[in-house]
Amino acid sequence: MIHLLFTGGTISMQRDPSAGGNIPAHDGEALLELAGGLKRIGEYRVENWAMIPACHLGPERLWQLRERLRIIGESGEVQGIVVTQGTDIIEESAYLLDRTLPRTVPVVITGAMRTSSDEGWDGPRNLVDAAAVAADRQSSGQGVIVVFNGKLFAGRHAVKVHATDVDAFAAPHAGAIGWVKEGSVVYHGGRPVRRDPTDSESHAPGQLGSEPSGLPARVALVSMVVGDDGSLLDLARSTHDGLVVIAFGSGNVPPGAVPAIRRWLEDGKPVVLATRCLWGEVTPLYAFEGGGSQLVAMGAIPAGPRTPSQARMELVISLSSGRQYGR
């Protein structure tokens, strides 16, 4: 049994001239009728959890979704779960789910870049591919998988890299883990990429020992600009519990921002250092004023193999569960 949980997003939308653009229109049953091809995958059931754009999913709703998926996964009734949602925040939602859900059953996230009103609507293919991945025995133990345009990505590495193209997702820090070809699921090397359960990057809640009960922590995400004087960093400090700085290159910031970063650390609030570069990680090599080496010596934490938004979600999870970043 595959559980199909629909939350909305572009895959459920069509163009409405009176509204001046795309709006939600199709529930799960309507999407299945339009898509076709699901019956060959096997038995399934439908849940219309929501029909909203992804940008309407805040921390509370994301945690409600996480809890719903946890309950379904632990019920023992399903072999896999497919979640359709808007693509705008899959980078955050897939990371959250992969970082906190038990790997009871595979959770496959998909959606669409085009609506049913558009030529080349990619929703039907993505939905059928996602169901095939969820139903495949090889996917057991893989956790959360993002499926788009025939490619499979681990949930914690999937990133939206194109604003409009159907081939919108990649994994700059890891690469794809497989693909779907003519309905068949193929993992790289002919088998799934298993994660070492002792790896700190692969913890599930049972291994972490302190599972969050929600996402109450407030974490600011501030991008550095040329000549930054730290004023935005200071504005956020009184209202937020932690900070992710989007730095230049391998983790460098303008010298004017250093005192503001130091004030965050002096307040006992964690500062994570990410890079605005799509590929590569913060590497503390430079010891000049504002260099990444200086900031790490002050107490800033390199983001590791995470985009800025993923680093922010990791810090939200960590603070909400009383853990250190990435632990």
Q: 10 an active-site residue?
A: yes
pLDDT of residue 304: 97
Q: Phi and psi of 23, rounded to 5°?
A: -140, 160
Residue 272 included in any domain: yes
Determine the residue type at 44: Y
Angle between helices 308-321 and 90-100 (to 10 degrees): 40
Q: Are residues 195 and 240 in the same domain?
A: no
214 in a domain, yes or no? no
Same domain, residue pair 176 and 223: no
The confidence score (pLDDT) of residue 23 equals 94
Spatial contact of 293 and 286, defined as CB atoms under 8 Å apart: yes
Residue 40: the pLDDT is: 85
CA distance 276 to 226: 13
pLDDT band at 204 (very low <50, low <70, confident <90, very high): very low
Examine the fold and report which residue of 186, 208, 230 is the final residue of a domain before the chain moves on.
208
Q: Is the separation of the CB atoms in 55 and 151 below 8 Å?
A: no
The pTM of this model reads 0.93
Q: Are residues 264 and 160 in the same domain?
A: no
Quick check: is 327 in a domain? no
pLDDT for position 202? 40
pLDDT beyond 60 at 282: yes
213 assigned to some structural domain? no
Is 76 within a domain? yes
What's the total number of domains in the chain? Answer: 2
31 and 80 part of one domain: yes
DSSP category for residue 18: T
Name the β-bridge partners of 178. 152, 187
Strands in the chain per DSSP E: 2-6, 13-16, 21-24, 44-48, 80-84, 107-110, 144-148, 151-154, 159-160, 169-170, 178-181, 184-187, 219-223, 242-247, 271-275, 301-302
Please say if the pLDDT value at position 271 is more than 70. yes
- Confidence at residue 81, expressed as pLDDT on a 0 to 100 scale: 98
162 and 225 belong to one structural domain: no
Both 251 and 188 in one domain: the answer is: no
Query: What is the predicted pLDDT for the residue at 75?
Result: 96
78 with 136, same domain: the answer is yes
Give the C-alpha separation, 254 to 184, whole Å: 50
CATH number for the domain including 248?
A: 3.40.50.40
Q: Which of 168, 185, 208 is the last residue of a domain?
A: 208
Task: Let me know whether 175 and 235 are in one domain.
Answer: no
Stronger pLDDT, 200 or 153, i.e. the higher one: 153
C-alpha–C-alpha distance, residues 28 and 12, integer Å: 8
Quickly list H helices, 15-113: 28-35, 59-74, 90-100
Catalytic residue among 7, 10, 100, 275: 10
- Alpha-carbon distance of 126 to 272, in angstroms, equals 34
Domain boundary among 208, 241, 272: 208
Could you tell me if 40 and 98 lie in one domain? yes
What is the reported pLDDT for 184?
A: 94
| Residue 255 domain flag | yes
Q: Does residue 196 sit in the same domain as residue 257?
A: no
247 inside domain: yes
Please give the structure tokens belonging to residue 174: 């890891």
What is the C-alpha separation between 264 and 253, in angstroms, rounded? 15
Same domain for 236 and 166? no
Q: What confidence tier does 212 reach under pLDDT thresholds 50, 70, 90?
A: confident
Task: Check which CATH number belongs to the domain holding 96 and give it.
Answer: 3.40.50.1170
Give the chain's mean pLDDT.
93
Render pLDDT for 116-164 as a digit per residue (tens, 0 to 9): 999 999 999 999 999 999 999 999 999 999 999 999 999 999 999 999 9
Q: Taking residues 38-55, what's their average pLDDT?
A: 94
Per-residue model confidence (pLDDT) at position 327: 76
Range(s) of the domain holding residue 193? 2-208
The model's pLDDT over 59-73, given as tens digits with 9 standing for 90+, comes to 999 999 999 999 999
pLDDT at 266 over 50: yes
Q: Do 67 and 190 lie in a common domain?
A: yes
